[in-house]
């Protein structure tokens, strides 16, 4: 009897181990056919859709095209998804003819009786206002060049979009290749476009009888930067401001140097057959096919430095690089399959998940935090917003592509000296991470961004995800300094109020819900919860490395206040008793939900109060005035609260800023036509809804158990 019981106990132990393993990585043993999953969401375009631009890229370089497969009609797309050619290294600054100093952007604000400087958008004196505008605008990201077709009729007229018929275009997500075809003057044109997964190289192959007739060529145009707040980055009205010339030429190859003030970069162009390159006008270069040929292929390599003279990459090589790189991407990491679901929204959610994986891999997987519009067009002059890095990058870890997140984490070490300067200038310890930031780490003056603090614990969150993935000492050592210096700032920023025997966050402070006065705002719930989580996690890191806990951090943890409530509902800040009666406050991010959704529970958060808060926010928020990541944020909170129906409803809330275009981009409004934090948010939320979170008591916590959803998932990780 004892032996039989032991065998039963052993069998139960094995079963529980298998279940535990499945819960952490795979939901069932039916392996997902990943190629079929991806290919059923091939993007198809049948017209000139200015919001339907398609992109190829590799995470650090991207190229966006119109319906011709190249950038033939960029002006048509200016108010849509513009046709960008951008890299992570391509930056430019206009000459500073005045001699502005960054210190001229600083203004003192009261921090509990002590004056500390913040870089803000002052309007006077005139020189300081000029300095603010200069450091906000510079540096800005470069559009590296427009590459398009030039097609003429037999009479020599250059065609326009209305001259094209039979448009058919597909983005093959599995291969990362765009195939386009259309008809002009009765002749078919076929274009295949792809991008190297190792280098900043775009390549295309064009087939048409129009080539034989001498009516089709390829033009490369180089713009001067616009320095615009939100635009394509191109200014075609200042040809005298920059220089382009061919510095090296050989059979089938030319090297173009582009000089813009103090910035210089290079474009190596290679082509097939007997084609040649001409320069028909200033900043314009044309690849003219040889006589009698019906096919033209070319490659362009953009580089920060002059390349060594080697044989240029051929189209077939670039196409193979794309095919192999994307196959590897799709076959690694996580996957989610909703086929078989009865809920009519299932296919659309699957489409958003697949396209968001593609777009974030193309746009957000480089060596730096990406801008909100990735490598497609400029928003906020092309500068990343560091608080958005969580939304751009956390999903890579949850989908077990940790290496794509880690590519951008070394950057924090590179700019830590600048972050330390900010903290020292304000009289705090450690490092204070900037908000709207150039790659050098220099913050941009902002009357909102400079007062945000929720980007501070991000690096601790990222590092913790890396440790959960690797579980090794090398990871602890790699990120320990960043974790500890960030925690030093966080603990020193928390002000100890002797009267109430507690710590206070702010003022000055603007919470993630950005509509509050920095001079009066204190103790917003999301930031309090994030401070608690960040300092607690930093102490765990000390313990893992065999170090004693830091007393200053424990002091803050012990006396951080619980978020303020009114009638059992969490306020947006302790300083805002009118959080829900002032309409201005319900027209921004519902950041209060992040305290239990984005973040796990803690002793600061009462789940019953959070559920009551959630229900009130759900019914009373001005959702049309929120932003793309607010809907996944809401879904996460609903999932932690055990409300899966609401999680799905949040992801499908019928408001403009929750629109996902045919190419997968999260449309916001006429000004901001793409918004990658929304895409990253969808991926983070769906990972959590499938794989759960630490302490989740049910499988698939974000999906109802009523038979309407069939969910298979592989290789996802739990959220903390």
As given in the structure block, the two tokens for residue 183 are 């008809």
Which phi and psi angles does 689 have, rounded to 5°? -65, -30
pLDDT-flagged residues of the chain (< 70): 1-29, 310-311
For residue range 370-397, list pLDDT tens digits in order.
Answer: 999 999 999 999 999 999 999 999 999 9
- Let me know: does 415 contact 437? Beta carbons within 8 Å: yes
Give the E-state strand segments of 263-315 in sequence order. Answer: 263-271, 276-281, 284-288, 295-303
The DSSP secondary structure of 27-39, one letter per residue, reads S-SS---HHHHHH
Q: Which of 270, 283, 299, 157 is nearest to 220 (CA)?
A: 283
Instruction: Tell me which CATH code domain 37-92+140-328 carries.
Output: 2.70.98.50
- Let me know: does 532 contact 602? Beta carbons within 8 Å: yes
Antiparallel, parallel or unpaired: β 378-379 and 230-231: antiparallel
The whole-angstrom separation of Cα 77 and Cα 73 is 7
Q: Which of 701, 545, 515 is nearest to 621 (CA)?
A: 515
Q: So what's the pLDDT on residue 184?
A: 97
pTM: 0.95
On the question of a cis peptide bond just before residue 607, with omega within 30 degrees of 0, the verdict is: no
Q: So what's the pLDDT on residue 4?
A: 39
Exposure string of 411-449, with b = 16+ CB inside 10 Å and e = fewer, is bbeebbebbbbbbeebebbbbbbbbbbbbebbbbbbbeb
Please, how many CA atoms are within 13 Å of residue 92, restricted to the half-sphere of its CB?
26
The whole-angstrom separation of Cα 659 and Cα 425 is 42
The whole-angstrom separation of Cα 293 and Cα 278 is 18
The whole-angstrom separation of Cα 483 and Cα 464 is 9
- Let me know: does 247 contact 255? Beta carbons within 8 Å: yes
The count of other CB atoms within 10 Å of the CB of residue 558 is 9
Q: So what's the pLDDT on residue 311?
A: 66
Q: So what's the pLDDT on residue 312?
A: 73
As given in the structure block, the two tokens for residue 429 are 């310890």
The whole-angstrom separation of Cα 52 and Cα 660 is 11
Q: So what's the pLDDT on residue 291?
A: 86
The whole-angstrom separation of Cα 336 and Cα 344 is 17
Which phi and psi angles does 603 have, rounded to 5°? -65, -15
């Amino acid at each position: 009897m004892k032996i039989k019981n032991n065998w039963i106990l052993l069998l139960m132990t094995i079963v529980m181990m298998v279940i535990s393993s499945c819960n952490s990585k795979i939901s069932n043993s039916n392996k997902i056919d990943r190629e079929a999953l991806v290919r059923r969401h091939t993007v198809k375009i049948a017209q000139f859709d200015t919001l339907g631009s398609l992109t190829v890229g590799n995470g650090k370089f991207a190229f966006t095209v119109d319906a011709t497969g190249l950038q033939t009609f960029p002006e048509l797309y200016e108010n849509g998804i513009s046709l960008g050619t951008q890299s992570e290294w391509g930056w430019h600054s206009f000459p500073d003819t005045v001699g502005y100093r960054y210190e001229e952007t600083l203004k003192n604000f009261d921090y509990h009786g002590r004056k500390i400087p913040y870089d803000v958008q002052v309007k006077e004196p005139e020189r300081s206002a000029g300095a603010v505008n200069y450091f906000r605008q510079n540096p800005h990201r470069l559009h590296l060049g427009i590459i398009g077709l030039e097609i003429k009729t037999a009479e020599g007229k250059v065609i326009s979009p209305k001259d094209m018929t039979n448009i058919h275009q597909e983005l093959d997500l599995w291969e990362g290749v765009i195939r386009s075809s259309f008809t002009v003057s009765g002749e078919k044109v076929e274009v295949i476009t792809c991008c190297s997964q190792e280098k900043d190289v775009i390549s295309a192959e064009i087939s048409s009888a129009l080539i034989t007739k001498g009516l089709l060529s390829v033009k490369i145009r180089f713009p001067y930067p616009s320095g615009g707040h939100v635009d394509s980055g191109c200014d075609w009205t200042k040809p005298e401001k920059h220089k382009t010339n061919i510095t090296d030429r050989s059979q089938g190859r030319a090297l173009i140097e582009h000089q813009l003030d103090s910035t210089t970069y290079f474009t190596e162009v290679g082509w097939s057959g007997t084609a040649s390159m001409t320069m028909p006008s200033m900043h314009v270069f044309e690849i003219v096919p040889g006589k009698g040929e019906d096919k033209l292929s070319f490659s362009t390599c953009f580089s920060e430095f002059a390349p060594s003279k080697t044989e240029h990459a051929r189209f077939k090589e670039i196409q193979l690089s794309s095919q192999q790189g994307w196959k590897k991407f799709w076959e690694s990491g996580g996957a989610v399959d909703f086929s078989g679901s009865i809920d009519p929204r299932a296919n659309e959610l699957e489409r958003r998940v697949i396209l968001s994986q593609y777009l974030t891999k193309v746009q957000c997987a480089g060596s730096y935090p990406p801008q909100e519009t990735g490598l497609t067009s400029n928003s906020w002059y092309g500068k990343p917003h560091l608080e958005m890095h969580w939304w751009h990058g956390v999903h890579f870890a949850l989908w077990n592509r940790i290496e794509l997140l880690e590519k951008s984490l070394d950057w924090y070490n590179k700019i830590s000296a600048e972050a330390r300067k900010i903290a020292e200038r304000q009289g705090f310890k450690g490092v204070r991470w900037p908000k709207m930031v150039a790659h050098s780490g220099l913050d941009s003056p902002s009357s909102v961004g400079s007062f945000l603090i929720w980007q501070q614990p991000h690096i601790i969150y990222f590092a913790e995800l890396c440790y959960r993935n690797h579980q090794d000492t090398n990871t602890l050592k790699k990120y320990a300094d960043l974790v500890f210096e960030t925690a030093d700032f966080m603990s020193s920023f928390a002000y100890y109020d002797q009267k109430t025997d507690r710590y206070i966050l702010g003022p000055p402070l603007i919470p993630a819900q950005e509509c509050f006065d920095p001079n009066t705002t204190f103790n917003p719930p999301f930031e309090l919860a994030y401070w608690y989580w960040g300092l607690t996690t930093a102490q765990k890191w000390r313990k893992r490395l065999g170090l004693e806990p830091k007393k200053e951090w424990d002091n803050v943890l012990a006396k951080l206040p619980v978020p303020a409530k009114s009638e059992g509902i969490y306020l947006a800040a302790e300083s805002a008793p009118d959080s829900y009666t002032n309409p201005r406050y319900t027209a921004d991010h519902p950041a209060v939900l992040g305290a239990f959704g984005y973040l796990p529970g803690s002793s600061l958060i009462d789940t019953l109060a959070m559920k009551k808060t959630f229900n009130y926010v759900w019914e009373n928020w001005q959702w049309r005035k929120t932003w793309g990541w607010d809907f996944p944020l809401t879904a996460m909170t609903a999932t932690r609260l055990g409300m899966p129906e609401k999680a799905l409803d949040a992801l499908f809330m019928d408001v403009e800023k929750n629109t996902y275009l045919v190419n997968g981009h999260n449309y916001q409004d006429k000004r901001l036509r793409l918004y990658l934090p929304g895409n990253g948010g969808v991926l983070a939320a769906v990972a959590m809804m499938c794989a759960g979170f630490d302490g989740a008591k049910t499988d698939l916590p974000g999906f109802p158990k009523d038979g309407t959803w069939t969910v298979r998932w592989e290789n996802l990780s739990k959220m903390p």
